[in-house]
Amino acid sequence: MALEYIGQMLKDAAAEVNTIEIRGRVDKVVGTIIQASVPGVKVGELCILRNPGENWMLRAEVVGFAQNIALLTPLGDLEGISYHTEVIPTGHVLSVPVGEELLGRVLNGVGDVADGGPPLKTHKFYPVYADPPAAMSRKLITKPVSLGLRVLDGVLTCGQGQRMGIFAAAGGGKSTLLSSIIKGTDADICVLALIGERGREVREFIERDLGPEGMKRSVLVISTSDRSSMERLKAAYTATAVAEYFRDEGRSVLLMMDSVT
């Protein structure tokens, strides 16, 4: 009884301890690199940048160090950063929301809702960085996956687990082909990343090419050409993380990117 009482006292005392949040401060901005004094951060860690007294926030990722200075790349525009900007480490890498609520939704390159709809209610998150499956744990490619187009299924049959590249000049119909595949494939879920596209083309693709039929079992990750280079890079990882979640749920997933260049 005495040991249980002491243990409970320690728990109660720990619950009343006021923790101190570790914060750093921006020292310099050179090009697209933010130099900041932030103790204890690691490469790949996500940090939150805030200005005291302002409703402004920017996410940045630690990409390296120069002596005792952390080097961060922003996941957004640099506008708003000052010498007063605080850098708050999160202790984890960038993660994206996952769940059935994603079906029919459009996300930006870092996993935020980008279609003007209601916020996602899911409480599940997947890190954008994951270890690839071990070589001996990968399944053999033995089963075909239908892409819904006879010319591809008959001549260029795609297997479950296979990668395929589509190469054509601008205006050659690559996006139209992708929309046809999304609407015709027998995969359970389609995850499409549109990276580096012009802004006006994205809405045209969603409303004219995909339509409600293509969106009902799809998740779109959008990072247009006017977004930061780091966000466009993260869009590929975000789409992959979403696809990995549905894969882990036992679903057949078709992951597509336009384009990886």
Q: CA-based angle 194:220:98, to the nearest 5?
A: 130
Chosen domain end from 59, 89, 119: 89
Q: Do 62 and 104 belong to one domain?
A: no
Q: Do 252 and 138 belong to one domain?
A: yes
Q: Token match 């336009």: residue?
A: 258
Share of the chain above pLDDT 90, in %: 64
Q: Do 143 and 178 belong to one domain?
A: yes
pLDDT for position 13: 61
User: Phi, psi at residue 134, to the nearest 5°?
Assistant: -60, 150
pLDDT for position 170: 78
Q: Do 65 and 153 belong to one domain?
A: no
Helices (H), 143-228: 150-155, 174-184, 199-204, 211-215
Global confidence as pTM: 0.86
CATH number, domain of 112, equals 3.40.50.12240
d(CA 85, CA 52): 7
Chosen domain end from 89, 108, 135: 89
Q: Token match 């690559």: residue?
A: 174
Give how many domains the chain has, as a whole number.
2
Nearest residue to 221 (alpha-carbon basis) of 131, 130, 126, 132: 126
pLDDT for position 148: 92
Query: How many residues comprise the chain?
Result: 261
Q: Do 61 and 149 belong to one domain?
A: no
d(CA 72, CA 87): 10
Q: Do 102 and 205 belong to one domain?
A: yes
Residue 126 bridge partners (DSSP):
96
Q: What is the pLDDT of residues 3-41, one digit of tens each?
A: 565 666 666 666 665 555 678 999 999 989 999 999 989
Q: Whole domain around residue 164: which residue ranges?
A: 95-258
Helices (H), 102-149: none
pLDDT for position 17: 55
Q: Do 65 and 189 belong to one domain?
A: no
Residues in the chain, pLDDT under 50:
none
Tell me if 50 sits within 8 A of 57, measured CB to CB. Answer: yes
Q: Do 203 and 171 belong to one domain?
A: yes
Q: Do 163 and 50 belong to one domain?
A: no
Q: Do 135 and 192 belong to one domain?
A: yes
Nearest residue to 224 (alpha-carbon basis) of 97, 117, 108: 108
User: Phi, psi at residue 219, to the nearest 5°?
Assistant: -125, 125
Q: Do 19 and 38 belong to one domain?
A: yes
CATH number, domain of 66, equals 2.40.10.170
Q: What is the pLDDT of residues 155-191, one digit of tens each?
A: 999 999 999 888 888 778 888 899 999 999 999 999 9
